[in-house]
Chain A
Amino acid sequence: MIEAFIKAISATPGKPAGVSRRTDTVAKMIDTTTCIGCKACEVACQEWNNQQVTFGNFEGTYQTMPDLAHNFWNLIKFNETESEIGTPLWLMSKYQCMHCVDPGCLKACPAPGAIVQYTNGIVDFNHDACIGCGYCMTGCPFDVPKMNPATNKVHKCTLCTDRVSVGLEPACIKACPTNCLSFGTREDLIRKAEDRVGTLQSDGFPNAGIYNPPGVGGTHVVYVLAHADQPEAYGLPKDPHIPWTVALWKGPLKWIGNVLLIGGILGTFFHYVRYGPQRDE
């Protein structure tokens, strides 16, 4: 069923067959101004995905662990800082795969079919095809995919594609008690985020804005930030781009590679024609 909705596949040329007529893309909206850092989304993610529990080290913050892990795909970042007038700020924001419109992971992946992007915008990993090279980790400007050293496979948030494909919302959305998380079509949610930003701006947050970075073609996870001028304060990269190495490797270098490959094949052919098969002396 799901194959019918594939938009892009890693290391596979041409358009995938059977593109659906369906054009709606899905998205998550994270309104950080109403996030209370309760971690219900973390628990829901762990439970739904049946993750193995690990007890981390104490890191001096309320944050569950310093970064996402191969068995922990949804992390609330707690950022303690101060306003210009010296009052404390405790910014909490949920972190997970951003499901980029132009996914760096998929671009970087050399294993055919290991990473797919569905027409609804979800970017998902197919672990049967994953070769554990870790190129997707390099390709991701958000540092999301994590390698499981025991299995040599890379893991990340699936945007609950198993739930979404049967019409349910992702587990994190269902668990959120303050409605700071919403799920719907990307178009609707961007409109909703714009409304919310308007309210915040009139409520004394002139720098409120949406985080939907153009460097990756936009994302299927959009944020409402009260201080959108400084996304780093929320642990989000300011202007994420697919690393130039990946762009190079899938762009000009790919053609140079192809030329070299074809040259090699042609060389072999002409060598055979000219000298014939190798004979034992």
Chain B
Amino acid sequence: MTNGWTDVANADVVLVMGGNPAENHPVGFRFVMEAKRVRKAKLVTIDPRFNRTAAVSDIYVPIRAGTDIAFLGGLIHYAITHDLYQHEYVKLHTNASFLIREGFSFEDGFFSGWDENKKAYDKSSWNYELDAAGYAKVDPAMEHPRSVFQLMKHHYSRYTPEMVASICGCSAADFEKAAAIICSTGKPDRQGTVLYALGWTQHSHSVQLIHTAAMLQLMLGNIGMPGGGVNAQRGHSNIQGATDMGAWNMLPGYLRLPRANQQTLADYLKETTPKALRPDSMNYWSNTPKFVVSLLKAYYGDKATKQNNFGYDFLPKLGETDNYSWGYLFDHMYAGQIEGMISFGMNPVANGPNTPKMLAALSKLKWLIVAECFETETASFWKARELAEKYYSTALDSSGINTEVFLLPAACFAEKDGAFVNSSRWAQWKNVAVEPPGQAWRDQDIIARLFLKIRELYEKEGGKAPEPLLNMAWNWQNPASPSLSEVSREINGRDAAGKQLASFAALADDGSTACGNWVYTGSFTEAGNMMARRGQEDPTGLGLFPNWAWNWPANRRILYNRASADAAGKPWDASRAPLRWNGTNWTGDVADYKADAAPGDFGAFIMLPEGVAKLYASDFVEGPFPEHYEPVESPVENILHPKVSSNPLAKIFRTDRDPIGSAAEFPYVGTTYRLTEHFHYWTKNIAGTSELQPHFFVEVPEALAKTKNIRSGDMVRVRSARGAVEGRAMVTKRMRGLQVSGKTVYQIGLPIHWGFIGRVTGPLVNNLSPSVVDPNSGTPEYKGFLVNIEKI
């Protein structure tokens, strides 16, 4: 979240789209209800299903899964044509005035620079027009035909209410009703928030979708404002923390993992440290060398010296085109390229798309280690056929498997301390509630013992590239069981004298500081564990609660808060000002700016080389402006450009286990989701929650059910090109046929929580979903794929 849960209570309009907070974030949803009750905020829900959130909304508009960009693009168009955007904000805080090079275009579904052979873009025509000093040229009036504003206006001129209606399947009148409310927040004294979740991130165009939401919020002047922002509701207690600590291509703190062409630290830093694109850009990422060197010092300790580039050579490097994100990883595994896997807190057989391929991939492994507090479908994938037979007409094939599987009993969350980082970016420390039962170990104990044993083997027997392990600093009081306080202190970072750092501003690139994740500096200082704080003071009255736990970065509660004020530092909305400039300092929230820099010294978006927010962003692979592309499996052609129907850069895997279905054979749109009664694939092991929703079911629109002679409670089979699931039908008025380009499209709802192990069991719905992923994030397209349904 750019803002936080408590801040949602400051909103005048709450747009819920691509999420269902009443269902999946009921505790956070209290702040939506507070906004409604206290501020009389309007709640607008846009979703394929009339869901629990819609049930308490002021306005609900149905939408076909996978058409959100069309809807949001329509809102941008509406804001421009009805002159509802915040002119001053857009001019001051976005790149609307920046000029783009000559040669940029968008025609028939392609941006300029498309290379049909490489199936990729040459992005050079997307760049800014630069002046002699290397800064982007601007037209403050935003009237130049090549200014971002004019290009954007032109790009979305196609997204009329009628066009939105015929793509999304809603009525133009409903769209306009919602648009009028959402765009009413374009005034400086009205704020609107956007709450989204996996209904946005799980598409083959999901990153661009969220980009569109950011553009809309920037146009309406809602970024940096209390009650505003673009707010991702995270679906696991600590998934935000997991993201912050790295990924397949990221080191902790959003530092890129080196690639094979970056053989020296200097090469790496040169390529990853951005240059300012405007004279007043603070360009905070210019400090990248300090973050990287401090991280290397945390990894390798005394072994990281200036002479050896602080151990940069020890870091593994990715091949230039390597990709190990989810879809690729299991594709490599299916191709037999991966020998073994260690799975912690993760149940890929249930979580991942295309279960039949997943089972086949795991069976190619020599060994699999699963550390879990329950037996999972992954740990028992080898008996899927026997266990799951009753839920699939074609049983999953996992016979003839030679994989050696180790299931290590692990402690659950209440049996270990440490911090959870929630959607609001709050790192909240927790204590151990009970000791792990039986032989269960805490994760850190399992990892530490694995590390010590593997290092011992490398020391004794040697092997390929042992340096990363042999040089790793491992200075825990008990090397076999590091305490999470010790680990947190290392993440926070310390100076040469061993003192805990208070701020990442103190990090250096000369090896004098060590820091496990610069984003978390300040979380565990000389004053103690800031994450364990429970102060309930609220000095601004805006619900920022600065002394409650610790908020990354720098305990800042609202990101981009400098944008809440105009050029002179005067708040846009005096009643909701997170920051005030008193002539020498910014007071209120922790400024997302230099605390004592005058309002005009820097652009408000200090992390970006532009110094302003990007309406136009050439960072993504499929274009600088988001464009509506159909899901890879879609019941209709893209009416904007039928020849380029889906995202030309969507990654579609092409093995024998990756069939793509056609609308002729699979005419309905399937979409997956969670229920409030369950948490993912865990709570089917718990009696109390299973009692509330014991049975897998399929939500079927009433009109469709009628034509198929399906009544509530009947057994149905839902098939996709990948596989089938069987369960009871829930015939409902809450899902309806949508009119899409003159055709009625029905959607089928598929809750995810069952599997073949647990107190209650059922089919894995990912037996249906495709291994198609977003090209930027690698997230699979679970929302919107083709299925058919029949009564059995």
A177 within 8 A of B: yes
B664 within 8 A of A: no
B453 within 8 A of A: no
- Listed in ascending order, the chain B residues whose CB lies under 8 Å from chain A are 22-23, 26-27, 29-30, 33-34, 36-37, 40, 50, 52-56, 60, 676-677, 687-695, 697, 712-713, 728-734, 759-760
Q: Is the CB of B691 within 8 A of A54?
A: yes
A146 within 8 A of B: no
With A60-B731, A179-B30 as given contacts, are A37 and B694 in contact (CB-CB < 8 Å)?
no
A64 CB contact (under 8 Å) in B29, B52, B691? B691
CB distance from B740 to the nearest CB of A (A): 19
With A38-B26, A39-B692, A203-B40 as given contacts, are A58 and B713 in contact (CB-CB < 8 Å)?
yes
Q: Is the CB of B50 within 8 A of A90?
A: yes
Q: Is the CB of A60 within 8 A of B730?
A: yes
Q: Is the CB of A53 within 8 A of B30?
A: no
Q: Is the CB of A34 within 8 A of B54?
A: no
With A34-B37, A60-B713, A178-B33 as given contacts, are A88 and B50 in contact (CB-CB < 8 Å)?
yes
Q: Is the CB of B697 within 8 A of A55?
A: no
Question: What are 26 inter-chain pairs, A to B, with CB distance below 8 A?
Answer: A33-B56, A34-B56, A36-B53, A37-B676, A39-B676, A39-B692, A53-B690, A53-B691, A55-B759, A58-B694, A58-B697, A58-B728, A60-B712, A60-B713, A61-B712, A80-B732, A80-B733, A88-B54, A88-B734, A89-B55, A91-B55, A92-B55, A177-B27, A177-B30, A178-B29, A199-B37
A42 within 8 A of B: yes
Contacts of B29 in A (CB 8 A): 36, 177-178
Contacts of B27 in A (CB 8 A): 177
Q: Is the CB of A39 within 8 A of B677?
A: yes
Closest residue of chain B to A39 (Cβ to Cβ) is B692
Complex Cα distance, B687 from A46, in Å, reads: 11
CB distance from A79 to the nearest CB of B (A): 10
Closest residue of chain B to A202 (Cβ to Cβ) is B40
Contacts of A203 in B (CB 8 A): 40
Q: Is the CB of B52 within 8 A of A36?
A: yes
A47 within 8 A of B: yes
CB distance from A48 to the nearest CB of B (A): 12
Complex Cα distance, B713 from A58, in Å, reads: 7
Contacts of B34 in A (CB 8 A): 179
Q: Is the CB of B56 within 8 A of A36?
A: yes
Complex Cα distance, B694 from A64, in Å, reads: 9
Q: Is the CB of B55 within 8 A of A55?
A: no
With A38-B26, A90-B50, A90-B734 as given contacts, are A55 and B691 in contact (CB-CB < 8 Å)?
yes
A55 CB contact (under 8 Å) in B37, B690, B730, B734? B690
The 9 closest A-B CB pairs, nearest first, are: A60-B712, A36-B22, A90-B55, A38-B26, A55-B694, A58-B695, A53-B687, A88-B50, A178-B33
Most A CB contacts (10 A, CB to CB) among B23, B692, B759, B760 go to: B692
Q: A54-72 vs B: 1/0 string, CB under 8 Å? A: 1111111110100000000
B676 CB contact (under 8 Å) in A34, A38, A61, A90? A38
Q: Is the CB of B50 within 8 A of A40?
A: no
Contacts of A62 in B (CB 8 A): 693
Closest residue of chain A to B28 (Cβ to Cβ) is A177
User: What secondary structure prevails in chain A residues at the interface with B?
Assistant: loop
Contacts of A180 in B (CB 8 A): 33
CB distance from B368 to the nearest CB of A (A): 31
Contacts of A80 in B (CB 8 A): 732-734
Closest residue of chain B to A64 (Cβ to Cβ) is B692
CB distance from B689 to the nearest CB of A (A): 7
Most B CB contacts (10 A, CB to CB) among A42, A60, A61, A87 go to: A60
- Listed in ascending order, the chain A residues whose CB lies under 8 Å from chain B are 33-40, 42-43, 46-47, 53-62, 64, 80-82, 87-92, 177-180, 199, 203
With A36-B56, A82-B733 as given contacts, are A46 and B691 in contact (CB-CB < 8 Å)?
yes
B55 CB contact (under 8 Å) in A37, A53, A82, A199? A37
Most A CB contacts (10 A, CB to CB) among B691, B712, B733, B759 go to: B691
Other than the given A36-B23, A55-B690, A55-B694, 5 more pairs (CB < 8 A) read: A36-B29, A37-B676, A46-B691, A81-B733, A177-B30
Complex Cα distance, B734 from A39, in Å, reads: 20
Closest residue of chain B to A33 (Cβ to Cβ) is B56
Q: Is the CB of A90 within 8 A of B760?
A: no
Q: Is the CB of A40 within 8 A of B26?
A: yes
Q: Is the CB of B26 within 8 A of A43?
A: no
Contacts of B30 in A (CB 8 A): 177-179
Closest residue of chain B to A32 (Cβ to Cβ) is B56
CB distance from A130 to the nearest CB of B (A): 25
Contacts of B22 in A (CB 8 A): 36-38
Closest residue of chain A to B676 (Cβ to Cβ) is A38
Closest residue of chain A to B26 (Cβ to Cβ) is A38
With A34-B37, A36-B52, A39-B676 as given contacts, are A178 and B26 in contact (CB-CB < 8 Å)?
yes
Complex Cα distance, B732 from A60, in Å, reads: 9
Contacts of A58 in B (CB 8 A): 694-695, 697, 713, 728
CB distance from A30 to the nearest CB of B (A): 14
Most B CB contacts (10 A, CB to CB) among A43, A81, A177, A203 go to: A177
CB distance from B388 to the nearest CB of A (A): 19
Contacts of A89 in B (CB 8 A): 55
Complex Cα distance, B54 from A91, in Å, reads: 11
Complex Cα distance, B695 from A54, in Å, reads: 13
Closest residue of chain A to B686 (Cβ to Cβ) is A53
Contacts of A43 in B (CB 8 A): 688-689, 692
CB distance from B709 to the nearest CB of A (A): 15
Complex Cα distance, B37 from A203, in Å, reads: 11
Complex Cα distance, B60 from A82, in Å, reads: 13
Closest residue of chain A to B694 (Cβ to Cβ) is A55
Q: Is the CB of B53 within 8 A of A56?
A: no
Complex Cα distance, B729 from A33, in Å, reads: 28
Contacts of A39 in B (CB 8 A): 676-677, 692
Contacts of A53 in B (CB 8 A): 687-688, 690-691
CB distance from A103 to the nearest CB of B (A): 29
Complex Cα distance, B50 from A91, in Å, reads: 12
Closest residue of chain B to A56 (Cβ to Cβ) is B694
With A54-B691, A90-B734 as given contacts, are A34 and B677 in contact (CB-CB < 8 Å)?
no
Complex Cα distance, B357 from A179, in Å, reads: 45
Closest residue of chain B to A91 (Cβ to Cβ) is B55
Closest residue of chain B to A57 (Cβ to Cβ) is B695
Contacts of B60 in A (CB 8 A): 87-88
Contacts of B760 in A (CB 8 A): 55
Q: Is the CB of A38 within 8 A of B688?
A: no
Complex Cα distance, B540 from A58, in Å, reads: 50
Contacts of B56 in A (CB 8 A): 33-36
Q: Is the CB of B688 within 8 A of A46?
A: yes
Contacts of B694 in A (CB 8 A): 55-56, 58
CB distance from A62 to the nearest CB of B (A): 8
B33 CB contact (under 8 Å) in A34, A56, A60, A64? A34
Q: Is the CB of A177 within 8 A of B26?
A: yes
Complex Cα distance, B23 from A38, in Å, reads: 7
Q: Is the CB of A59 within 8 A of B713?
A: yes
Complex Cα distance, B334 from A188, in Å, reads: 65
Contacts of A179 in B (CB 8 A): 30, 33-34
Q: Is the CB of B734 within 8 A of A36?
A: no
With A38-B676, A55-B694, A90-B54 as given contacts, are A61 and B730 in contact (CB-CB < 8 Å)?
yes
Complex Cα distance, B692 from A47, in Å, reads: 13
CB distance from A47 to the nearest CB of B (A): 7
A36 CB contact (under 8 Å) in B55, B695, B731, B733? B55
Contacts of B692 in A (CB 8 A): 39, 42-43, 64
